[in-house]
Structure 1
Amino acid sequence: MTAFRYRAVNAEGAAAQGLIEADTVRAARLALRDRGLWVSELGAVNSSSTSRTRGDRLSTQRLSLITRQLATLLDAGLPLEQALSVLIEQSEGDREKRIAASLRSEILAGASLSQALSRQQQAFPELYRTIVAAGEESGKAAAVMQRLADYLEARAALAAKVGLAFIYPIVVMAVSILVVIGLLTWVVPQMVTVFQSAKQELPFLTRAMLWASAVVRDWGLALLVLLVLAGVGAWRALKVESIKRAFHAWRLQLILFGRFERASNTARLASTLAILVGSGVPLLRALSAAAGVMANLPLRDAVNEAASQVREGVTLSRALSQSKLFPPVLIHLIASGEATGRLEYMLDKAAAQQSQELENRVATFTGLLGPFMVLAMGIVVLLIVLAILLPVFEMNQLVR
């Protein structure tokens, strides 16, 4: 059977759309007519049309959910074609239904799951396809899919923890900026005008605050436009490979954020290598796939260089240590795994250690950043209050 995407109207004239399975286009039209739908558009779902649409990209959360469902169905003994049919029925979004229907059509046409996934490159990244192909080659597709689901869920959970940890500092910063702008544009001019009418010389702090208030009121919009243009220009500049590479190298040198960058990429590398090696993927192929998930370009280059050295017979731990970009704990754990023949286990340990270190560093940083932002806002508000009160103190002294 083939999956068809349709658009139709019912007897009341309401629009309807979705997917239906049938042997032929005629059978699909008859089935829709039996449902009381009059078809305006009907077409077979195929991988080429699906992969061309950018809208069929899947988030890590949705991809992990689909993988977990498929792994559970395969582990229960369902054939792949039937498991995909269940996925089509269970999927809530039209995007997931289209992708599952397209995969099922490819399977029914005689393709393997990895071949079907290769025609859905927008939805399934290279790492995903490589692991599935390894599972098919080893005959352990269900077990490999379970590990792949675990990997995707752990990756999504780590990203969610890091993202949530930064919400509070960002909210505090945004509120602080809005409060300071409000004070400078409305409160300060209203209060200080009273003292200017007394024709007395204002203190330096008051004059500085008035100048800052005038800049915000008169040039605030222009400064905002310039800031947006600068951000767009920086974003476009980072599209250039050489500039992006230099920027990534500079980020690694930062005292605090460099450690975040190194820990996150190292955790991603170790977990990716662990699941690939555990799935039976050769080490050189695993290194090539793992390099593709590295977000930092110098670290990615270091992994590619390590792969070249491994191809020449150098051990993985020694090859990675040559760049001096990776944490020593990763090198030592890999060396231990190579010496004991438990490379997969030690890579899992390294991934867990680096993920935990990243979580601890983010928690510490955000825990300190919130109070620091409150303290900085308090200092700014104190300066504004002093700028308003200093003329009052001087007037009191003159009166005395």
Structure 2
Amino acid sequence: MYFRITLVERGKRTTEVVEAPNKRAAAAKAKREHPRAVVVQTVETAAPVEDILKKIGKDLQRFSKGKIKEDDKIATIRQIAVMTDAGIPIHDTLEDVANNTANKQLQEIYHNLASDINAGKSMSQAIGPYADQFGHIAIAMTNLGEKTGNFPEAYHKLADILENIRDNKAKFKKALRYPMITLTAMAIAFVILIMMVVPKFRAIFEEFHAELPMPTKILLSIEYAFSHYGLYLLVGLIVFIYAIIFAYKNSKSFKYKMDEILVHPRFYLINRVIFLSSMYNYTLVFGELVRAGIPVSEALATAVDMVDNDYIRSKLETVNANIGRGMSLTEAFEQTGLFENMLLQMIKAGESSGQLDKMLGKVTDYYNMRFQDIIDNLSSYIEPIMLFFIAGLVLLMALGIFLPMWDLGRAVKNAP
């Protein structure tokens, strides 16, 4: 977030734009830079053009480099776990991993991590700036390893989790392959029919001065748009998609609103995938931290970093605050409205019996089971949407083409 700070120093009023997470932090940052000035006003504002251009440049640079392959990332993380478990210092481990990996991006990252650790930073501090490359789960598991003192086990667990995520993505893509091929073929056929067949009806009916039915008018309008503005529409679509992605990454308010929309019940299937994966990651890390003997408040603060969806995250962040007000963990979870009654009863039983870590493991297994069920049956969930979409295209094409043909005889009879 960006804030316009109004400062008064020696009777002179100046303004500057500061990037900070909130107003208080922005004012403090401006005060540090101008210790003799008085902060008069702090107002949220849009990002400066030069900052936007810098971020766009970074995005393009990241896009040109390509994403780090999951297999390469998992292999290096597993190697770090094995080498640190053998007693090799983390600095030497990172240098060795950097020298042995064939991925150029990972080489650069691990060399930077080794340099930062050599400069006195902890592993969690060093890996923090690379959340985009490794994901929040790597940051959370690094914190877990440092807090528990068992870094190798945390990284073995991290590699297992990343392998699970990779396998789920592969299953998800495999399930989507058939529907996407079918819809793509239908879209191509639709465009070909519009561009090659539909225009001929225009000439025929213009000759006989016939009134075109509404479906045909729609098809002709689409054909006209494709013929005259096709390139502009394509460029506009690409720019629009990039603008949405850019705003999602760089505007907290926009990201929060989008995350809230995506988990709304109206978003069929998508809301369940996002919710179940978020809750699985959250309960997994929370349970691991509790099992390792980390205090519940610290475990909650670390586990919430696993949640990428800001809407769900904001609800889970209230748990720690409510516990601080005297609520039990079960009551605090109930206040979020995210947990089913059955799961709340399991957590309550774990609190009462002193076996919270075991019950959290059961809750994690439950979320994982439901998530796996969606992935395994994704095709059957998508089929109704796909059939509806295909039926809509076929109906539009049929009505748009055959209705004029049925009226063609009448148009010929009425011709002068």
| TM-score, length of structure 1 as denominator length | 0.70
Q: What code does the residue aligned with 2:74 have?
A: S
Structure 1 distance, partners of 2:127, 2:347, is 34
Paired residues of 2:284 and 2:364 also in contact (CA < 8 A): yes
Are 2:136 and 1:120 aligned? Answer: no
CA apart distance, 1:220: 4.2
How big is each residue's C-alpha offset from its partner over 1:284-329, in whole Å with a ceiling of 9 and x where there is no partner? Answer: 1221122222222222111111011223442222201102134444
Paired residues of 2:136 and 2:306 also in contact (CA < 8 A): no
1:383 to 388, 395, 399: 399
Residue in structure 2 matched with residue 15 of structure 1 by the alignment: none
Alignment of 1:283-294 (within 5 A): 283-294=296-307
| Secondary structure of residue in 2 paired with 1:287 | helix
| Secondary structure of residue in 2 paired with 1:197 | helix
Decide which structure has the larger Cα Rg and report it. Answer: 1
Are 2:261 and 1:247 aligned? Answer: no
Paired residues of 1:270 and 1:350 also in contact (CA < 8 A): yes
Structure 2 distance, partners of 1:136, 1:204, is 67
Specify whether residues 165 and 286 from structure 1 end up closer, same or farther in structure 2 by C-alpha distance, changes over 3 A only.
farther
| Secondary structure of residue in 2 paired with 1:314 | coil
- 5+ residue gaps, structure 2, are 1-60
Paired residues of 1:278 and 1:344 also in contact (CA < 8 A): yes
Q: What code does the residue aligned with 1:366 have?
A: I
Residue in structure 2 matched with residue 281 of structure 1 by the alignment: 294
CA apart distance, 1:207: 4.7
1:214 to 224, 231, 235: 224
Paired residues of 1:147 and 1:275 also in contact (CA < 8 A): no
Alignment of 1:39-58 (within 5 A): none
Paired residues of 2:277 and 2:371 also in contact (CA < 8 A): yes
How big is each residue's C-alpha offset from its partner over 1:68-103, in whole Å with a ceiling of 9 and x where there is no partner? Answer: 122233445656566445524531123333344445
Residue in structure 1 matched with residue 24 of structure 2 by the alignment: none
Residue in structure 1 matched with residue 193 of structure 2 by the alignment: 183
Paired residues of 2:213 and 2:404 also in contact (CA < 8 A): no
Q: What code does the residue aligned with 1:283 have?
A: V
Q: What code does the residue aligned with 1:311 have?
A: G
Residue in structure 1 matched with residue 151 of structure 2 by the alignment: 141
Q: Identity of counterpart residues, as a percentage? A: 22
Higher mean C-alpha deviation, range 264-273 or range 80-89: 80-89
Residue in structure 2 matched with residue 366 of structure 1 by the alignment: 382
- 5+ residue gaps, structure 1, are 1-52
Specify whether residues 189 and 72 from structure 1 end up closer, same or farther in structure 2 by C-alpha distance, changes over 3 A only.
same
Paired residues of 1:165 and 1:366 also in contact (CA < 8 A): no
Alignment of 1:87-102 (within 5 A): 87-102=97-112
CA apart distance, 1:205: 4.6
Paired residues of 2:333 and 2:339 also in contact (CA < 8 A): yes
Q: What code does the residue aligned with 1:119 have?
A: A
Structure 2 distance, partners of 1:342, 1:197, is 83
Higher mean C-alpha deviation, range 346-355 or range 222-231: 222-231
| TM-score, length of structure 2 as denominator length | 0.68
Are 2:366 and 1:353 aligned? Answer: yes
Residue in structure 1 matched with residue 203 of structure 2 by the alignment: 193
Alignment of 1:14-25 (within 5 A): none
